[in-house]
Chains A and B, each alone.
Chain A
Amino acid sequence: MKEDPILSNLITELKRGNLTLCVLSQLKKPQYGYSLLQLLADKQIPIEANTLYPLLRRLEVQELLSSTWDTSEARPRKFYVLSDKGTALLSELGKAWQEHYQRVGALLAEEGHE
């Protein structure tokens, strides 16, 4: 089937809205950029590198993530992990998403929808 550009646009938009939530949820343990990229891809949440890296940086500036440089390996890596503020925010954001997901689900479950 030929991909409908309107549909694919909307799907992209839909996913983009949840991106921050996905990223925060995977940072209870420290990750560096590329490991997080792979982790998310393994869990069926593929994200572009050029979206993820700037996003991590912004979340750090917003103090939701804290970072440390690990120089013990051959290659230095910057590890990100949720800050206290980030942890609190993740829990709130997660709740909000659950509620919203249920409401949208209820809408779609109404008669006349598949």
Chain B
Amino acid sequence: MSDLIGRYVEETVRHLSLKERAELAKELEANIQDMIGGDDSEQHVEQVLLDMGSPSVLAKQYRGKERYLIGPETFDFYWMVLKLVCLVVGIVTVVITLISLFFTESPVGIGTMIAKPIASLFSALSGAFLWVTITFAIMDYYQVNATLESWDAKALHDLEEAPTRLIKKSDSIADLVGLSVFFLLLAVLFNRPELIALYRKDAAPVPLFIGQALRPYVIGWMATVILSFIVSALKWFKGKWTSTLFVLSASVDLLGIIYFIFVATRWKLYNPAFLTIFPGSMTRWQIIIKAASVVLLILTLIGNGDDAYTVFRRTRPDEAGPARQR
């Protein structure tokens, strides 16, 4: 009979912290012995232990709190981040794998064409899942709570304004996905600049760029994309506009477009052979690039102006209003 009690006690304390185990086991056993009293028939012992409830439930009572890898407060945010990261990582991995297969030296069979992207997708997704989960588990363990913010009068008033200044999650996600794909294209451009070329029948392709000269500029371009990516992630995380966020967002947009114009107008980067075929001459090419630059700049400014309108249209009258406490 005592064997049954011993097993029950052992199973209970197994779920508890090491330093408490011995003490709790001794106490629990003493208590159970008291409850059993003189009648130590198997039936009675069974009944007492059944009444005590399952060992894991009892252990939970002893711990006094639930343990989570990722707690209920952070779970929604974790799930969102996990989905986005998997989406981006998945798309980028498959595209990279397909491209690398496409340009590989030796011929590739249809089996490899299917199996290789699936294999790399699986390994990339496992990695993404692992790192996102580990990050959140560590945050939870050290009680870092990203979602709980201070609740005071200012936060209360911000609530009221929020609906007009929300940043759509879908927009931020589209930005992040777009930027990832663009970054990937830049990576391809860096490794194989000659791929952007005029392909003709019965003749060698004529590359648009002089590869060696282009490379350093591509690295700078990648840096601007990374900056944009960080700001987009920030917008997604915050979920609504603030003036600081607007300034950051507008700055990276402008930086991106100015850098693009800067690179596009480095005329020595273009392959003269290409230009004599397509627009006909360097002068025409320069006109095309300059016109495109102006259009892109105007589009960027319109985008920023639209954001500015969203950010500031509500705050201005409020700041002028005398009754409003902030």
Which residues of A does B touch, CB under 8 Å?
A: 32-35, 37, 48-51, 53-55, 57-58, 75-78
* A contact residues around B34 at 8 Å (CB): 32-35, 75, 77
Segment of B24-32, B214-222, B275-283 engaged in the interface with chain A? B24-32
Q: Are B28 and A53 in contact (CB under 8 A)?
A: yes
Q: Are A57 and B51 in contact (CB under 8 A)?
A: no
> Does more than half of chain B's interface fall in helix, strand or loop, or is it mixed?
helix
Residue of B nearest to A62 (CB): B64
Q: Are B30 and A32 in contact (CB under 8 A)?
A: yes
Q: Are A58 and B27 in contact (CB under 8 A)?
A: no
Q: Are B61 and A34 in contact (CB under 8 A)?
A: no
Which residues of B does A touch, CB under 8 Å?
A: 24, 26-28, 30-31, 33-35, 51-53, 57-58, 61-62, 64
Give the docked Cα–Cα distance between A55 and B35 (Å). 17
Nearest 3 A-B pairs (CB), nearest first?
A34-B34, A54-B61, A33-B31
Give the docked Cα–Cα distance between A50 and B61 (Å). 8
Give the docked Cα–Cα distance between A32 and B35 (Å). 12
Give the docked Cα–Cα distance between A77 and B27 (Å). 7
Select B30's contact among A55, A58, A75, beta carbons within 8 Å.
Answer: A75
Give the docked Cα–Cα distance between A96 and B230 (Å). 52
* A contact residues around B26 at 8 Å (CB): 76, 78
Q: Are A77 and B61 in contact (CB under 8 A)?
A: no
> Does more than half of chain A's interface fall in helix, strand or loop, or is it mixed?
helix
- B143 to A: closest C-beta gap in Å: 19
- A55 to B: closest C-beta gap in Å: 8
Give the docked Cα–Cα distance between A74 and B57 (Å). 30
Residue of B30, B53, B57 contacting most chain A CB atoms (<10 Å): B30
Residue of B nearest to A76 (CB): B30
Residue of A nearest to B57 (CB): A50
- A112 to B: closest C-beta gap in Å: 37
- A35 to B: closest C-beta gap in Å: 8
Given contacts A32-B34, A57-B62, A77-B34, contact A50 B52 (CB under 8 A): yes
- B239 to A: closest C-beta gap in Å: 36
Q: Are B27 and A49 in contact (CB under 8 A)?
A: no
Q: Are A58 and B64 in contact (CB under 8 A)?
A: yes
Q: Are B30 and A33 in contact (CB under 8 A)?
A: yes
Residue of B26, B31, B35, B62 contacting most chain A CB atoms (<10 Å): B31
Contacts A32-B31, A75-B34 known; 11 new A-B pairs at CB < 8 A: A33-B34, A34-B31, A49-B51, A49-B52, A50-B58, A53-B28, A53-B31, A53-B62, A57-B24, A76-B26, A76-B30
Q: Are B64 and A50 in contact (CB under 8 A)?
A: no
* B contact residues around A32 at 8 Å (CB): 30-31, 34
Give the docked Cα–Cα distance between A50 and B8 (Å). 13
Give the docked Cα–Cα distance between A54 and B28 (Å). 9
5 contacts between A and B (CB under 8 A): A33-B34, A49-B52, A53-B27, A54-B61, A58-B64
Residue of A32, A34, A48, A76 contacting most chain B CB atoms (<10 Å): A34
- B158 to A: closest C-beta gap in Å: 36
* A contact residues around B62 at 8 Å (CB): 53-54, 57
